[in-house]
Amino acid sequence: MAITDLMDHLDLSFVPERKDPFKELLLKTRDKFGLDHVAYAGFNPISGTTHGHVTYDDRWTQHYASQGFFRIDPTLIEARRSVAPVDWSRLEHTANFKAVFRDAHDFGITDTGLTIPVRGPYGDIGGLSVTSELSQTEWGKLKRHIISDLQQAAANVHDLVMQANPLMQALTSPQLSTREVEILQWTAAGKSQQDIGDILSISHRTVEVHLRSSRQKLHALTTAQAVGRAIALGIVGPG
C-alpha cells in the first residue's frame, strides 16, 4: 500500500481552527523532556487514515503541508522503517532531506533531532519526531537520559491516536496474559513487586516486566493507574 498517497490526509489536522486533542499531549511531552518540538505522524490501516499532530507553529505546518513535504520528509518516510530510534544525523543528506530542512531552517527549526518509530499489532505504524536546539554534545547527553521514557511516550501517543478510531478500539481491547492479570491482582491486594516475586517464585524483574507490559496494554502511565483501569474493565477484582 502506498503510504505516501495516504499521507495526503495528513494536512487535515494542520488546519489551525481545528481542535487538536493530541496537541496538549505533545506539548506536555515537549516540556517534560526539555525538547524544542514534538511531532507525531501515524497510519491506521483499519480506517485507511493518516494522522498528524505537532507542536510547531501554524506557519510552518501550513508551509509543510502546502509544499507536500509529508510525501518526501525522510524523518517520516525513512525513519519509521527502523526498529531503533533514528537520530537525524544518520539520515543521508538526499535532495529530499535538503528540501525539507532548508525550509525548516528558515522557520527556525533545527536538524538536530530524532524519530522514534512505533509499530502496532495491526500493521499500524507511526513515528514520534523530536527536535532540539542543543549542541550535538549536549543533545547526545539529553538523548541518553530521556530515550527510554521517550520510547514509552511515543508508543503511548501512537496507541492513543490509533484508539481514537472506534473499530480499532474494538479490535485492541486490552489482551492481558494470565500472568499479567495475576500480578495486577496481587498488586491490587497491596503486595510489592518483591512480595509478588516471592509468591510466584519468579524474579522481581520478571514481575516488573509483566507490569510494564500491562501498563502499555492498558495505556496507563503508572502501575496504580493500570490497576485502576483493570478494575474498571473487570479484569481484576478490587483487592
Please report how close the Cβ of residue 215 comes to other proteins at its closest, in angstroms: 8
Binding mask 176-195 for other proteins (x = CB under 8 A): xxxx----------------
Please report how close the Cβ of residue 20 comes to other proteins at its closest, in angstroms: 23
Please report how close the Cβ of residue 55 comes to other proteins at its closest, in angstroms: 20
DSSP letters along the chain, please? Answer: --HHHHGGGGGGGG-TTS--TTHHHHHHHHHHHT-SEEEEEEEETTTTEEEEEE-S-HHHHHHHHHTTGGGT-HHHHTGGG-SS-EEGGGS---HHHHHHHHHHHHTT--S-EEEEEEE-TTS-EEEEEEE--S-HHHHHHHHHHHHHHHHHHHHHHHHHHHHTSHHHHHHT-----HHHHHHHHHHHTT--HHHHHHHHTS-HHHHHHHHHHHHHHTT-SSHHHHHHHHHHTTSS---
Question: Cβ closer to other proteins: 62 or 213?
Answer: 213
Which one among 62, 67, 151, 165 touches other proteins, defined by CB under 8 A?
A: 151
Please report how close the Cβ of residue 170 comes to other proteins at its closest, in angstroms: 16
Question: Cβ closer to other proteins: 59 or 90?
Answer: 90
Residues lying near other proteins in the complex (CB under 8 A): 78-79, 81-86, 90-91, 117-121, 123, 125, 147-152, 154-156, 175-179, 202-203, 205-206, 209-210, 212-213, 215-217
